[in-house]
A and B are shown apart, each in its own frame.
Chain A
Amino acid sequence: MLENLQIGIETAITPHNLLWCFAGVLLGTIIGMLPGLGSATGVAILLPLTLGMEPVTALIMLAGIYYGSQYGASISSILISTPGDSSSVVLTLDGYQMARNGRAGAALAISAISSFVAAVVSLIGLMALAAPVADFALRFGPPENLAIILLGLATIVSFAGENMLRGIIMAAAGLLISMVGVASGFATARFTFGSVNLLSGLGFIAILIGVFAIGEVLHQIHRGGEKPIKATFRDLLITKSELRRSVAPALRGTGLGFGLGTLPGAGATLASFMSYGVERSFGKFKKQVGKGAVEGVAAPEASNNAAANASFIPTLALGIPGSGTTAILLGAFVIFGIQPGPLLFEQQPELVWGLLVSFFVGNLILLVLNLPLAPVFAQILRVPYSYLYPIILLMSLVGAFAIGNTSFALWVVFGAGILGYFMKRFDFPAAPMVLGLVLGPLLEKYLVQTSALGQGNLLILFHGPISATFTIAAIVAFVGPPVAGLIRRRVRAGKEIRETAKV
């Protein structure tokens, strides 16, 4: 471990990597602040810029964009009540209330400090757990890998939000899109309709640029843009009482976020909502939560950062992305010819440990940048969106061409943009689709191998203890929520009938 850490430090703190880490977190902060441009969009749009870099440098910068955007998204939530990313939606409650109460500076400071504390704690957890998980995963054969992919898909569908059916549709749609082209393990061309362009598939990054960049930007036009900042920085200093009150919620949020982040598919958004819910239901100052309490800022902020870091455990150690953005990062690994998974820790220690150490460096840069400079960053929110979004469209399309090196990629971006716009408009979640898209080829590979191993009998999944455990967990994650929802509705209906009868 110490030896690996030393390798990581040597890799991460070269001037070149430090520079791109700084560029990544700075760009991430700016992107995170802009409404409609979350971490997923940021990584997808800026991925083409890293094509000429060394893989480790590129991944350090892309990861920097990811966690930098978490910080940036909080600034816009607190100052204009408009989240830059879904994981900061909950900050529009207490964060913005604090800003309205003249404590904008304190809210930003608590947000940055909580994020930093959570990042440090969760990174220690990430470093401690990722390698043993990878070691354990070396024992996995096709049934185990298949079972864990099924668990990842089931988890993301379960956590998809208020409507699980839409999560299922989107995950299956992602899988279906991934099947376009020559089937892995077979010689059959599927859904190509005689087009040569479709033989090699639709291009993962082009679809993501379309769905996230084009779709999100157009949805932003539909939403009607954002109101200008009205909060002022009357008090930039955080009081001792505010700091003291933030400690326990930040630590609770970190624990909860880290636990949820390790699950493939759960993600930072759910973690932020759950930690806020814990503070509102069980916290010492629960009655103040919702009215501008520091607990309502510290807990979700810590939670979403911890979850973002923890989501790298399944991504790096198992090759199964833990969130939508890590799914895109997984795509970046593949573009650079690297296959994330258990062997990565053995074969590419400089890359893995360099990346992990860069997270510490990046979070430190973010803390230094965010504490004094948050008001400066906030000025970016004044740039008129009318000028900004056409440039985003241009850069997205040129970037998609740069990755695919074919004009066909531009048409894929256009089609995916239309799809992404309607998904946003009608509330179809994007994360399950991204996971389906990324995991589709792997799922099919392991499915074919498992089927061959079991001589056509897929019940072989229940023969080994590990694969059986993961398969059962996947079934529970898939079937459990609708059954629980049904029971809850029955209980609620019964209660209402009894109350009506009393009246």
Chain B
Amino acid sequence: MTSKSEAPARTRPPTSDVVGTAILAAVGAFALVMGFGYGFLEEGGKVGPGFLPVVTGGFILVASLAEITRMYLTHGQRGGSLMDFTEDIEEEANAAIGQTADPETEGSSESTQQRDTFGRTASPRNRAIVKVFGILLAALLVMPWLGLLLSLTAMVLTVVLWVERKPLLPSVLMAAGALAGAYLIFVQALGVPLPQGALGLI
């Protein structure tokens, strides 16, 4: 974090951040163009169905481009905020989060310190997110065959066994418990007709 009294170093902002903001700018531009197509104004200069898409699209486009410029020009320096002193506190508090000063780990090796409570280091952590998104997508894709509850239970089991590498028995018991809980709450208590898929089991 950059101290306010220091001159901010103009370093390159993370590419992913720039790309993400550029995508938002593109979304804004798209909304702007589409908005004109819907009709910006109606007869008598009244607001048309495209008015709000044009205005909001314009805001997104301009603010995203300004944000990208800010990232390059004032990287590490903050600005445009209402309350300076609350930001100092926020920075301190954010820095304090998770700083539990555990004596068991304080003197340990660097590699141990980098492991989180899932037992992962940074790289497997990123892979875990991709895996979870992939499993989620797969569960939604098999839902027309397995039904909602079974496909999501399979998702839970896969996440616990494959991503989290937990032992088989507790994982199966946990997935079965989740299935039973969801069935009792949504199907039995609330009477929600959940899709049963081609299998038609539950």
Query: In the complex, are the beta carbons of A447 and B47 less than 8 A apart?
Result: yes
15 extra interface residue pairs, beta carbon distance < 8 Å, beyond A81-B100, A161-B81:
A48-B186, A52-B189, A81-B98, A89-B94, A183-B38, A218-B133, A230-B100, A273-B83, A273-B90, A390-B174, A393-B136, A393-B155, A394-B178, A395-B181, A455-B46
Among A82, A175, A214, max chain B CB count under 10 A is at A175
**What residues of B have a CB within 8 angstroms of the CB of A372 in the complex?**
none
Question: Across the two chains, which residue of chain B brings its CB closest to A231?
Answer: B100
Pick from A49, A179, A414, A421: contact of B52, CB under 8 Å = A179
Is B9 in contact with chain A by the CB < 8 A criterion?
Answer: no
Min distance, Cβ A93 to any Cβ of chain B, angstroms: 6
Question: Across the two chains, which residue of chain B brings its CB closest to A422?
Answer: B20
Min distance, Cβ A496 to any Cβ of chain B, angstroms: 8
Query: In the complex, are the beta carbons of B182 and A165 less than 8 A apart?
Result: no
**Which residues from chain A sit less than 8 Å from chain B, CB to CB?**
48-49, 51-52, 80-83, 89-90, 92-93, 96, 100, 158-159, 161-166, 168-169, 172-173, 175-176, 179, 183, 186, 188, 190-191, 214, 218, 221-228, 230, 270, 273-274, 276-277, 280-281, 290, 384-387, 389-391, 393-395, 397-399, 401-402, 405, 407, 410-411, 414, 417-418, 421-422, 426, 440, 443-444, 447-448, 451-452, 455-458, 480-482, 484-486, 488-489, 492, 496
**Chain B stretch 37-96: residues in CB contact (< 8 A) with chain A:** 38-39, 41, 44-53, 56-57, 59-60, 63-64, 66-67, 70, 78-90, 92-94, 96
Min distance, Cβ A159 to any Cβ of chain B, angstroms: 6
Query: In the complex, are the beta carbons of A93 and B93 less than 8 A apart?
Result: yes
**Chain B stretch 8-55: residues in CB contact (< 8 A) with chain A:** 16-17, 20-21, 24, 27-28, 31, 34, 38-39, 41, 44-53
Query: In the complex, are the beta carbons of A81 and B99 less than 8 A apart?
Result: yes
Query: In the complex, are the beta carbons of B34 and A168 less than 8 A apart?
Result: no
**What residues of A have a CB within 8 angstroms of the CB of B21 in the complex?**
169, 426
**What residues of B have a CB within 8 angstroms of the CB of A484 in the complex?**
82
**If A90-B93, A394-B182, A398-B186 touch, does A224 touch B80 (CB 8 Å cutoff)?**
no
Query: In the complex, are the beta carbons of B174 and A162 less than 8 A apart?
Result: no
**If A386-B164, A393-B155 touch, does A398 touch B190 (CB 8 Å cutoff)?**
no
**Which residues from chain B sit less than 8 Å from chain A, CB to CB?**
4-5, 7, 16-17, 20-21, 24, 27-28, 31, 34, 38-39, 41, 44-53, 56-57, 59-60, 63-64, 66-67, 70, 78-90, 92-94, 96-102, 116-118, 120, 125-126, 128-129, 132-133, 136-137, 140, 143, 148-149, 152-153, 155-156, 159-160, 164, 166, 170, 174-175, 178, 181-182, 185-186, 189-195
Question: Across the two chains, which residue of chain B brings its CB closest to A410?
Answer: B140
Pick from A172, A274, A290: contact of B83, CB under 8 Å = A274
Query: In the complex, are the beta carbons of B98 and A417 less than 8 A apart?
Result: no
Min distance, Cβ A356 to any Cβ of chain B, angstroms: 27
**What residues of B have a CB within 8 angstroms of the CB of A485 in the complex?**
79-81
Query: In the complex, are the beta carbons of A163 and B152 less than 8 A apart?
Result: no
Question: Across the two chains, which residue of chain B brings its CB closest to A492?
Answer: B4
**What residues of A have a CB within 8 angstroms of the CB of B92 in the complex?**
93, 290
Among A183, A391, A398, max chain B CB count under 10 A is at A398
Query: In the complex, are the beta carbons of B117 and A228 less than 8 A apart?
Result: yes
Query: In the complex, are the beta carbons of A82 and B178 less than 8 A apart?
Result: no
**What residues of B have a CB within 8 angstroms of the CB of A456 in the complex?**
41, 44-47
Question: Across the two chains, which residue of chain B brings its CB closest to A452?
Answer: B46
Query: In the complex, are the beta carbons of B155 and A390 less than 8 A apart?
Result: yes
Min distance, Cβ A358 to any Cβ of chain B, angstroms: 22
**What residues of B have a CB within 8 angstroms of the CB of A214 in the complex?**
136
**If A222-B125, A455-B45 touch, does A414 touch B137 (CB 8 Å cutoff)?**
yes
Query: In the complex, are the beta carbons of A176 and B57 less than 8 A apart?
Result: yes
Min distance, Cβ B41 to any Cβ of chain A, angstroms: 7
**If A176-B60, A190-B38, A488-B84 touch, does A398 touch B102 (CB 8 Å cutoff)?**
no
Pick from A221, A270, A394, A457: contact of B155, CB under 8 Å = A394
Min distance, Cβ A215 to any Cβ of chain B, angstroms: 11
Query: In the complex, are the beta carbons of B39 and A188 less than 8 A apart?
Result: yes
**What residues of B have a CB within 8 angstroms of the CB of A276 in the complex?**
89
Min distance, Cβ B194 to any Cβ of chain A, angstroms: 7
Query: In the complex, are the beta carbons of B86 and A224 less than 8 A apart?
Result: no
The answer for the CA separation of A191 and B67 in the assembled complex, in Å, is 25
Query: In the complex, are the beta carbons of A398 and B152 less than 8 A apart?
Result: yes
Pick from A176, A277, A391, A401: contact of B89, CB under 8 Å = A277
**What residues of B have a CB within 8 angstroms of the CB of A92 in the complex?**
93, 96-97, 99
**What residues of B have a CB within 8 angstroms of the CB of A457 in the complex?**
45
**What residues of A have a CB within 8 angstroms of the CB of B185 in the complex?**
49
**What residues of B have a CB within 8 angstroms of the CB of A486 in the complex?**
79
**What residues of B have a CB within 8 angstroms of the CB of A422 in the complex?**
20
Query: In the complex, are the beta carbons of B136 and A417 less than 8 A apart?
Result: yes
